[in-house]
Amino acid sequence: MRFRAKIADIGCLNHFTRMINTIAKLTKTCTLRLTVDKLYFILSDKVANGGVGMWCELSQGNFFDEFQMEGVAAEHNEIYLELTPENLSRALKTAQNAKAVKIKLTNKNCPCLTVAVELPSLSSSSRVVTHDIPVGVIPRKLWKDFREPAVPDFDVSIYLPVLKTMKNIVERMKNLSDSIVMEANLNGDMNLKIETELVSVTTHFKELGNPPWVSENGSQGSTQERDPESMVEARIDIKKLLQLLAGQQVNPTKALCNIVSKRIVHFILLHDDVSLQYFIPALA
Amino acid sequence: MKCIVTGGNVKALGKAVHSLSRIGDEVYIEPLQEGLSLRAVNASRSAYACFLFAPLFFQHYVPVESKSVPDAGPVRCKVLMKSFLTVFRSLSLLEKTVEKCLISLRFCASMLRVQLHCRYGVVKTHDLSFQECESLQAVFDTEQCTHTLRAPPRLLVDAVVHFPLTLAEVTMGASPGGKVSFRSYLEEETEAGRTMVTELCLSEDEFQVFHVKQETQVTFCLKEFRGLLSFAESSNLPLNIHFDIPGRPAIFTLEDPLLEVHLVLATLSEPDSHSSQMTSCTPKAVASAYDFTSDDIDAYMIAMETTCAGTEGASPSPSPTFPTPHASSDTEDLDSDPEGTVPGTPPQKKFRSLFFGSVLNQSQTLMYPGSGQEVLAEDSEGES
């Protein structure tokens, strides 16, 4: 099992740092899956995680100048690691004006993801800072827990408004209520609602647009028969929604969400080479 | 005692107080012929700092009032750090508005008066109650330290910035080969395997003085060191680091015609006994830092089972406070301390209180007629 990668371009480094920061804001621990051409940051939707799931996919070619990996065996050429993204985020924070950053899988008393940062210095040789981030190696028999989640059989799919606007609204709503109702229809309308004994607040968004989903398995069926005006809703934990909106450091080119009535809200954020999916289960 | 500080020196004084506030809860003020000294020591007596401002630092400096009682002896006092820091809280405000700072010790009123003369004729007067006390003097000698480093403060600030603020201690390693490394110090068992370890290497040519006779590693507290660095950076004075074998104090000094600063930090004794993990992976880590440019791919087969570090029995550590009064020789006491090296005890307990031995032993009868407890009681009364 080997892994070694290098980033030399400052733009790529900043982009990668922002991605890691975003992930660190979403979850305390996650699984890092490495394949020959992609990196995945995964949080499986177990009850222990409050039913929240995350799937983030990065093409290594868009970030790394060098990327070498070798899995346990040729036919299973992958590596699965348990990682605290906060540590990686902290390590990269010290690399802001780095000349190059290397990330390696090493064995130092415990398995580590070693981040070596080459910094400019006043002397002839450059200064090197290394961060050894302890990781857990996930054995092959557990890999099946980390499959890509299927797009749920949603009732409504809708583009999201500018995330910053949404964040500002949800932030204020958070002071009033613990849960928020997200509802949307096929006419491009979305409402964010909170209802408490004392107050009801609703923010209406119009003409957001509904993304066209190509039918594969008949999931479109239920969507097409639906009355475009009728709202589909799911009540979710407002803190989890805010975590996603506030932690955003990558300005996505496309952001949408799929709502399964009273069951789950599935967010998809796309930014050319990166996709982040986030699942928030509906509250009972 | 009376002194007047003007101009940019007010800010320097403020910075010094901020730096001292990282160390102790009380500031010891002692007007001496050679200048005004401000000192602090931490609760576990493992860190001590002394700022000595030469008479030239002041516009006006009178250490002893002529009409003071003749046999009152030298004047010394301590005030609560919190109240003293309040006076100098905002450094930017000090810089912008304060034109003159007047400090006077008024024994008749038992008050330390700090007056800030600000712009537009505003005068802020702070009267702080003080307690008389004995001189606080750590026992150390930079001459006895085998190794010396001198570096511009910026270099060390840049090095320390990579470590998380939550990190308590850092291990500094130096080798005659011309490398200085800083590495996170982790307590074994509890943190190993979960906490990120950061290491940084600096090369000899970034230092102004590099006297390292043999490879040495010392571990000391980061918080106090950061405090001094921030002062050193603002005054742009090169920082001298004197250190010796592990367990002996590391002494950090700044020197200027107007100002002398000493920070003495206890170091953990016996680096090779505090954790089998540390010693086993240190050489490896150093190597990885050096071979940054080499392009060989590390082939490590990851061991799936967690390696368990040696579990030596932990016995209670000695009291981190005063050394026993009947200790025959302080230096002997420092060097031979089997209990101080017990692994797995909280960090401050592992630091030996190294510096107060001889002063306490010499003046013990004067200062502490009874036990240490009585002194504590005396302190709390004075605050009322």
The last residue of one of the domains, among A106, A121, A146, is A146
Residue labelled with tokens 């500018």: A162
Same domain, A23 and A124: yes
Q: Say whether pLDDT at B44 is over 80.
A: yes
Out of A228-237, B324-333, B355-364, give the one with best mean pLDDT: A228-237
Percentage above 90 pLDDT, chain B = 41
Task: Tell me what the mean pLDDT of segment A221-231 comes to.
Answer: 71
Question: Which of A244-248, A251-255, B141-145, B322-326 is predicted with the least confidence, judged by mean pLDDT?
Answer: B322-326
Task: Tell me what the mean pLDDT of segment B190-194 comes to.
Answer: 66
Q: Say whether pLDDT at B255 is over 90.
A: yes
Rounded Cα distance between A145 and A43, Å, is 10
Token pair for A44:
């499986």
Q: Say whether pLDDT at A217 is over 80.
A: no
The last residue of one of the domains, among A117, A146, A175, is A146
Q: Smallest Cβ distance to A1: which of B205, B206, B301? A: B301
- The one-letter code for the residue type at B117 is H
Question: Which of A38-52, A245-259, B75-89 is predicted with the least confidence, judged by mean pLDDT?
Answer: A38-52
pLDDT band of A148, cuts 50, 70, 90: confident
Whether complex ipTM tops 0.85: no
Cα of first residue to Cα of last residue in chain A, in angstroms, is: 44
Task: Provide the Cα torsion A226, A277, A244, A20; round to 10°.
Answer: -170
Total count of domains within chain A: 2
Q: Say whether pLDDT at B155 is over 70.
A: yes
Same domain, A124 and A164: no
Same domain, A191 and A212: yes
Token pair for B359:
């002063």
Angle at CA of residue B79, ends B76 and B30, nearest 5°: 25
B contacts of A128 (beta carbons < 8 Å): 200-201, 289-290, 292
Chain B residues whose C-beta is within 8 A of a chain A C-beta are 155, 161-162, 164, 192-203, 205-206, 277, 280-281, 284-285, 288-290, 292, 297-304, 306-307
B contacts of A118 (beta carbons < 8 Å): 292
Task: Tell me what the mean pLDDT of segment B10-20 comes to.
Answer: 93
Range of the domain at A35: 2-146
Same domain, A181 and A134: no
Interface membership of A118 toward B (CB under 8 Å): yes
A contacts of B300 (beta carbons < 8 Å): 1-2, 105-107, 111
CA distance A181 to chain B (A): 38
Cα of first residue to Cα of last residue in chain B, in angstroms, is: 23
The residue among B353, B355, B325, B359 whose CA lies nearest residue B337 is B353
Same domain, A122 and A231: no
The residue among A231, A186, A179, A223 whose CA lies nearest residue A208 is A186
Question: Which of A11-20, A40-49, A232-241, B300-309 is predicted with the least confidence, judged by mean pLDDT?
Answer: B300-309
Q: What pLDDT does B310 receive?
A: 36
Asked whether residue A277 is domain-assigned, the answer is yes
B276 SS3 class: helix
pLDDT band of B273, cuts 50, 70, 90: very low
Asked whether residue A227 is domain-assigned, the answer is yes
Rounded Cα distance between B322 and B320, Å, is 7
User: Contact A116/B288, CB-based, under 8 Å?
Assistant: yes
Percentage above 70 pLDDT, chain B = 66
Task: Tell me what the mean pLDDT of segment A166-191 comes to.
Answer: 94
A contacts of B299 (beta carbons < 8 Å): 2
Same domain, A139 and A209: no
Asked whether residue A169 is domain-assigned, the answer is yes
Rounded Cα distance between B131 and B361, Å, is 22
CATH number for the domain that contains residue A67: 3.70.10.10
Q: Say whether pLDDT at A175 is over 50.
A: yes
User: Contact A109/B304, CB-based, under 8 Å?
Assistant: no
The last residue of one of the domains, among A146, A170, A196, is A146
Interface membership of A29 toward B (CB under 8 Å): no
Residue B47 half-sphere exposure, CB side, CA atoms within 13 Å?
A: 24
Same domain, A142 and A160: no
Interface membership of A130 toward B (CB under 8 Å): yes
pLDDT, averaged across chain B = 73
Give A 184-203 residues with CB within 8 A of chain B: none
A contacts of B289 (beta carbons < 8 Å): 116, 128, 130
Is the model more confident about A220 or about B302?
Answer: A220
Asked whether residue A236 is domain-assigned, the answer is yes
A contacts of B277 (beta carbons < 8 Å): 109
Residue pLDDT, tens place only, B205-222: 889 999 999 999 999 999
Q: What pLDDT does B136 receive?
A: 81
Q: What pLDDT does A284 receive?
A: 76
Q: What pLDDT does B65 receive?
A: 66
Q: Say whether pLDDT at B330 is over 60.
A: no
Asked whether residue A9 is domain-assigned, the answer is yes
Asked whether residue A34 is domain-assigned, the answer is yes
CA distance A260 to chain B (A): 38
Same domain, A125 and A197: no
Q: Smallest Cβ distance to B162: which of A94, A107, A124? A: A94
Residue pLDDT, tens place only, B55-109: 999 999 988 765 555 555 567 888 999 999 999 988 888 888 999 999 998 877 7
Q: Is B11 in contact with B67 (CB distance < 8 Å)?
A: no
User: Contact B301/A107, CB-based, under 8 Å?
Assistant: yes
Q: What pLDDT does B217 receive?
A: 92
Asked whether residue A164 is domain-assigned, the answer is yes
Q: Say whether pLDDT at A34 is over 60.
A: yes
Same domain, A124 and A160: no
Same domain, A12 and A140: yes
- Alpha-carbon dihedral sign for residues B191, B193, B194, B199: positive
Is the model more confident about A223 or about A98?
Answer: A98
Same domain, A113 and A178: no
Residue pLDDT, tens place only, A271-280: 877 899 999 9
Residue-by-residue DSSP string for B312-335 = PPP-PPPPSSSPPTT-S-HHHHHH
Same domain, A177 and A231: yes
Q: Is A86 in contact with A27 (CB distance < 8 Å)?
A: no
Residue-by-residue DSSP string for chain A = -EEEEEE--HHHHHHHHHHHHHHHHH-SSEEEEE-SSEEEEEE---GGGTT-EEEEEEEGGGT-SEEEEE-SBTTB--EEEEE-HHHHHHHHHTTTT-SEEEEEEEEESEEEEEEEEEE--SSSSPEEEEEEEE-EEPPGGGGGGGPPPPPP--SEEEE---HHHHHHHHHHHHTT-SEEEEEE-TTS-EEEEEE-SS-EEEEEE----------SSSHHHHHHHS-TT--EEEEEEHHHHHHHHHH--S--SEEEEEEETTTEEEEEEEETTEEEEEEEEPP-
Q: What pLDDT does B371 receive?
A: 36
Q: Say whether pLDDT at B263 is over 70.
A: yes
Q: What pLDDT does B69 receive?
A: 53
Asked whether residue A151 is domain-assigned, the answer is no
